Chains A and B, each alone.
Chain A
């Protein structure tokens, strides 16, 4: 549905995005992650035709954004970072204006009413946008994006300024919309991306650093297979015993958590699952296992690792990690 090829954008000397390529299939929900200034909004602005790329192409639904801008724009509903609202209009006037501007053909009254009910803005329908709270403005902006029922939705930080209850409502709505729409969603709220998106694209400093499901990204990072163990028994005995298990690279002690119960961090070689071996060792030696957890990388870990690469590269002892990413 959306095809982005070798996209670059320079603002004078600054490079906002640098040779990004990805494609989004019809009906999928993709999360755009990245720290502030990574190039998320720029990428979205280019896909929607607000900006033009310095080089590279974008096609949506088979239409090139430069050759057939109007066809592409008809397919896309866009909620920019700052909702494009006219403060001097009422919600009613604004939605009707956007309806005309987008040349929507669905019956007007019913369509606008449905969208207002979906976003729960019916009770502010007659009010001036200037007098609305941030949460309501965000939702009016969202409503504007849904006008004409476009098959692609591009949402730049859709839950900014909403209260926790509204955030959950909007998330559920995005999930619901995701069944029938292609959605690109940007955010720097990680649980949000995790809750809504099946696929994640991480951008840092204008470069695409990861693309895939959360699991596949954390796997490709080659997470070090760290297992946390809480077992009862002599600390030094268990420490020695764990070290002798096959494929174990290192063991660290985490100290006494309860009387007689110690915590250990066991690091295994890449690609080895040592949980069973640890359990067998403990049961054979009668050390009651109180906790055994495989600490896979969470999205937070993945995100921090991928986006703080400068620190790693500057640090010569971590050369291997930075090599992994490239």
Chain B
């Protein structure tokens, strides 16, 4: 698994994808940070991260589209699957590499906050909550994207499908106003990434949200592993 993660991580930076991803995230972050904190003289960092939440959901498909699609297209999966490595290790290895790139981008967003920390006293729990929340929703989205990539040989199809799903997850709680059935509302709220993400923005460490995101990650890594295994039988 370590070998796979290492290779995948390196691959992000031998191609421009890794650099571009981090650069774009940081540029957008810088822009919103400037707008909110400087122009409005506000320390409401949550609104910066809330915007980043949306952008993150949109960029993650670019990060995950290649994970399995490229291997299948280049037939390099033959080396991977005939090596003495379990399918779960392959799926987890790929997930970790994509997550590492995302985590680098997100960790770098802490730099401006730390600088502000020298001059004033921002609300650290809120900042850390936002940071942790962004890592968790990102990781869950990456697990979903990795799974979708294992379904198709085409990176483009993988990216667009993942994109579609992430937008659905962003807007799904808007559906609650259209539905009257209590049970359906409950399901929608349960599925919504936004509702799960909300507590973090207030600096609350919500155990149920953490468990939710970790479960999404585990389920999709499991599904990816099943998918790789399943491909052998067809």
| A residues apposed to B, CB below 8 Å | 11, 45, 48-52, 69-71, 73-74, 76, 78, 80, 82, 84-89, 93, 97-98, 100-103, 144
List, sorted by A's number, 6 A–B pairs whose CB atoms are closer than 8 Å: A49-B81, A50-B232, A80-B75, A82-B75, A98-B83, A100-B6
Q: Is A100 a contact of B74 with CB atoms below 8 Å?
A: no
Q: Is A88 a contact of B232 with CB atoms below 8 Å?
A: no
Q: Is B78 a contact of A102 with CB atoms below 8 Å?
A: no
Q: Give the A-B pair count, Cβ closer than 8 A.
A: 72
Task: Report the 5 A-B pairs with minimum CB-CB distance, sorted nearest first.
Answer: A100-B3, A84-B79, A70-B84, A73-B84, A52-B232
Across the two chains, which residue of chain A brings its CB closest to B4? A101
Across the two chains, which residue of chain A brings its CB closest to B75? A82
Residue among A45, A51, A86 with max Cβ neighbours from chain B (10 Å): A86
**B6 surroundings in chain A (CB, below 8 A):** 97, 100
* A82-B75, A101-B4 given; A73·B82 CB < 8 A: yes
Q: Is A50 a contact of B81 with CB atoms below 8 Å?
A: yes
Residue among A73, A78, A101 with max Cβ neighbours from chain B (10 Å): A101
**A93 surroundings in chain B (CB, below 8 A):** 7, 10
**B30 surroundings in chain A (CB, below 8 A):** none
Q: Is A88 a contact of B14 with CB atoms below 8 Å?
A: yes
8 Å CB contact of A70 from B7, B78, B80, B86? B86
B118 within 8 A of A: no
Q: Is A78 a contact of B3 with CB atoms below 8 Å?
A: no
B100 within 8 A of A: no
Least Cβ distance of A50 to chain B in Å? 5
Q: Is A144 a contact of B82 with CB atoms below 8 Å?
A: no
**B79 surroundings in chain A (CB, below 8 A):** 78, 80, 84, 98, 101, 144
Least Cβ distance of A67 to chain B in Å? 14
Across the two chains, which residue of chain B brings its CB closest to A69? B84
Which B186-234 residues sit within 8 Å CB-CB of chain A? 232-234
8 Å CB contact of B233 from A49, A52, A82, A86? A52
Q: Is A88 a contact of B11 with CB atoms below 8 Å?
A: yes
**B233 surroundings in chain A (CB, below 8 A):** 52
A222, B115: Cα distance in complex, Å: 89
A78-B79, A93-B10 given; 7 more Cβ-contact pairs under 8 Å: A73-B82, A78-B82, A89-B7, A89-B11, A100-B3, A101-B3, A101-B80
Across the two chains, which residue of chain B brings its CB closest to A87? B74
B15 within 8 A of A: yes
A103, B86: Cα distance in complex, Å: 12
Q: Is A84 a contact of B78 with CB atoms below 8 Å?
A: yes
A69, B232: Cα distance in complex, Å: 13
**B74 surroundings in chain A (CB, below 8 A):** 84-87
8 Å CB contact of A74 from B76, B80, B84? B84
A73, B15: Cα distance in complex, Å: 31
Least Cβ distance of B150 to chain A in Å? 15
Which B46-84 residues sit within 8 Å CB-CB of chain A? 74-84
* A87-B74, A88-B14 given; A97·B7 CB < 8 A: yes
Residue among B6, B77, B78 with max Cβ neighbours from chain A (10 Å): B78
Q: Is B14 a contact of A89 with CB atoms below 8 Å?
A: yes
**A74 surroundings in chain B (CB, below 8 A):** 84
Least Cβ distance of A257 to chain B in Å? 53
Which B4-31 residues sit within 8 Å CB-CB of chain A? 4, 6-7, 10-11, 14-15
Least Cβ distance of B79 to chain A in Å? 4
Least Cβ distance of A299 to chain B in Å? 29
**B84 surroundings in chain A (CB, below 8 A):** 69-71, 73-74, 102-103
Least Cβ distance of A97 to chain B in Å? 5
**B86 surroundings in chain A (CB, below 8 A):** 70
**B15 surroundings in chain A (CB, below 8 A):** 88
Q: Is B81 a contact of A101 with CB atoms below 8 Å?
A: no
A70, B77: Cα distance in complex, Å: 16
8 Å CB contact of A84 from B3, B4, B75, B232? B75
Across the two chains, which residue of chain A brings its CB closest to B231? A51
Least Cβ distance of B227 to chain A in Å? 14
B110 within 8 A of A: no
A47, B7: Cα distance in complex, Å: 26
